[in-house]
Structures are given as structure tokens and as C-alpha cells.
Amino acid sequence: MIVMIVYDGQCPCGMVKFRCKGEPFFTQYCHCNKCREIGSASQNERDKIGYAYTAAYLTNHFNMIAGENCLEAVIKNSSKLFLCSSCKSLIYGISLDPAKQGGIGVNVNNFNFHGNLPDSFKPVRHIWYADRVIHFNDSLPKFKDAPKEQFGSGELLD
């Protein structure tokens, strides 16, 4: 018997609840201006840290459980970001380009992990590191913008 792993999450005020099926493809830290701006408006202190912590999922592996009518859509650059209208925590973001809408970025700060962070949620890179406000002294790759598979230049910073 194959057991499908699911991860549930909710925004800090509890109005918006979601479920993701399976493990994320990857998780990453995003330092872009739009992520920092959206995070600064959130009532979730973990969102205000100067970068976003996102998990990549296929859109068909993400389901709203409650509060879909409580989502506020904000368009920033080439993305549509969905926030809780009450606490302003980012729930997820998706590309405005229909050709790039197979995947979404889900805010890891809103997952309900029971116990330790699963290995599949450990970040694999930093993106938009050229825009950072916080320096990281870690061994993760730091992309100037994004890897080529995420439609960036693929250029790494030292």
C-alpha cells in the first residue's frame, strides 16, 4: 500500500487553510523585492525576516481547505500572490504567464509541521540574492536572480 504524504497549513489567524500532497520539488529562500514587500505587511513575524521561504509544488498538488473567499490577490511584477485578507500572510504565488503556471510557490512559514522540519523542506538555494538585505553565511548556492530552470540567468554570486 502506497501512502501519500500530505502537509497541512494555515495562515496565522486561521482563516485560510490549505493542503499540499506529497513532498515539495524543492524549497528556497527568495530575496526579491516583491517577497520582502509582501512579507513586511504580514502579521506573521516569521514572514518579516527579510526574505521569503517557499516550497515549490505542482498546482494540482495544492488544495484550499478553508478560506478561499478570504484570499486577497496582489499582482507584483510577473506574479500573482495570494494573501490572507485578514492577517496579510502570503499563502502562495503563481506566475501570470500561463505557460509557467504548472507550479506554485507556497509560503513554508504557514505549514503545520509536527516535530522537526522534514528533510524535503530544507532549502536548496537562495534566489534573487543580489537584492538581499540579509547576508547568509551558508553553503547554499546564491543566484544573482534565479536558476535557468526558473527562467533566470543561472548566474551564481560568490
**Residue of 50, 57, 136 lying closest to 92 (CA atoms):** 57
Cβ atoms of 53 and 123 within 8 Å: the answer is: yes
CA–CA separation, 22 and 3 (whole Å):
10
pLDDT of residue 4: 80
pLDDT digits (tens, 9 = 90+) for 53-112: 999 999 999 999 999 999 999 998 888 999 999 999 999 999 999 888 889 999 999 999
Pairing of strands 6-10, 71-76: unpaired
**Could you tell me the strand order of the sheet in which 6-10 lies?**
6-10, 17-21, 62-66
Query: What integer pLDDT is reported at residue 151 of this predicted model?
Result: 85
Backbone angles phi, psi at 26, to 5 degrees: -170, 165
* Domain ranges (residues) in the chain: 6-150
> Is this prediction's pTM over 0.85?
yes
The whole-number average pLDDT for the span 118-146 is 95
Contact present, 6 and 20 (Cβ < 8 Å) = yes
CATH class of residue range 6-150: mainly beta
Q: Where are the beta strands (DSSP E) in 6-137?
A: 6-10, 17-21, 26-30, 52-58, 62-66, 71-76, 79-84, 90-95, 103-107, 126-127
